[in-house]
Structures are given as structure tokens and as C-alpha cells.
Amino acid sequence: MSADSASMDCAHTTLAVLAGGEGRRMGGPKGDLAIDGRAILERLLDRLSWPGPTLLVTAPGREHPPGWQRFSNEVSDPVAGEGPLRGLLTALEHASTNELVVLAVDMPNVTPAPLAWLAARLRENPAAAAVMVQRPERASSQIEPLPAAFRAVAAEGIVRARLRDRKLALHGLTEEHQVLVVPAPSDWPADFWANLNTPSDFAAYQVARASRPC
């Protein structure tokens, strides 16, 4: 998929970035991180150049992280402490389009083409409430809860019900028959999945960036 066709296909798809986490393991909210002196949210938007609406999801007390002004809209979860599933529901409830690609703020190596690929898989499967990715891992397979594509009108009820039942794990959405799980294409680079969960993750990421050839 070319950059031009990806942009055309995603012009009516919302990019929702979940940035409401407390960041206990990181030692502070991940939305406050900076990479090479730039706010992580600004860097993410510049990297993706998303052609459609962008939605930032934060949490009470953690609104307006650096770079929030770059988004089409920011919305805060109505309740704190319910994890990314609550952030997902907030995104589904407030998106200006029916199709969303949802991403976590702590994935700095995400690129546009895989997100457009996810959106295309959702469009190809009109009965699906969501498309999530299975990542090959040696002898087993691992569900990667984000990034994922969602159809708001179908997914909202599923997510609300799981939140009510305190089934808070995002990967648990794959238990729902309307959620389609697809294998990740083999050409997605391994570092696409990098997560900045702890200070050591962040330090290792910075070292890896510094060691790359210019």
C-alpha cells in the first residue's frame, strides 16, 4: 500500500491515542515523555501524518500533556483507574467517525502503513466490531491488543459490557465473536512492537536510537 493510497483510505478514520495511564512502572505519565527533546505526542503525530481526525484520550488529572494541541480533539475518561479498556470506550464514544484505529502513546516505532492495513482489514469485514493482530512468537502466538481497528457502532456495546463485568484486559476482547483476529504481516519490523513501559525500556530505546546510522 503506497503512502498516497493509505492517506486516501484513512481520511475518514479516526486515529485515537490512549495517553491516560498513570505510568506507575515508568515513574510518571507516559504522555509526558520526550524523545530527542520533543514531546512524545508531537513526535508520534509527525511520524504518522494521519490524514483523518485525531483524538487524544487522557484521564482526570492528566489532561493536556505536552503536544495535546496538535490533536483534532482531546477527551478525558470520566473515571480514573479503569485502565486502557476505559480509554478505549472513551475513544469509541467520542470519535467523529465510525471507524477508528487505536494506538497507545508508548509505542514510538509505529508507522503509518500498518495502521492503514488494519483499517483496510476492518473495511473488508463489515460484520466485525474490531480487528486485532496476532503476532508470531516462536512456537506460540501472541495477541497484541494495540494497535487495533474498531467500528464504533459495533464495538461500543461490547467494550461497555466488559467494563461493567470488570473484564478489563484488552486482549480479552478476542473472546468476543465479533472481534476478528488476523496474523500480522511478516514484513512488519520487530521493533514496530516496542513498548516504553519502564525507565529501563526508555533508556534502551534511547541507546538503540543513538546507535543507528544516520
Alpha helix (H) ranges present in 82-194? Answer: 83-94, 112-124, 152-164
As a dihedral over the C-alpha atoms of residue 75, residue 77, residue 83, residue 84, rounded to 10 degrees, the angle is: -30
> Is domain 3-211 annotated with CATH 3.30.420.10?
no
Helix (H) or strand (E) holding 108: none
**Residue 149, number of CB atoms within 10 A of its CB:** 28
pLDDT digits (tens, 9 = 90+) for 149-179: 999 999 999 999 999 999 999 999 999 999 9
Q: What is the pTM of this model?
A: 0.91
Confidence band for 118, pLDDT divided at 50, 70 and 90: very high
Grid cell in block for residue 33 = 515523555
d(CA 42, CA 189): 22
As a dihedral over the C-alpha atoms of residue 170, residue 176, residue 182, residue 184, rounded to 10 degrees, the angle is: 10
CB 40 within 8 A of CB 108: yes
Confidence band for 4, pLDDT divided at 50, 70 and 90: very low
Confidence band for 2, pLDDT divided at 50, 70 and 90: very low
Q: How many residues does the chain have?
A: 214
Across the chain, mean pLDDT equals: 89
Residue 206's pLDDT is: 85
pLDDT digits (tens, 9 = 90+) for 101-112: 999 999 999 999
pLDDT digits (tens, 9 = 90+) for 83-102: 899 999 999 999 999 999 99
CA 210 to chain centroid, in Å, comes to 25
pLDDT digits (tens, 9 = 90+) for 11-23: 999 999 999 887 7
Confidence band for 213, pLDDT divided at 50, 70 and 90: low
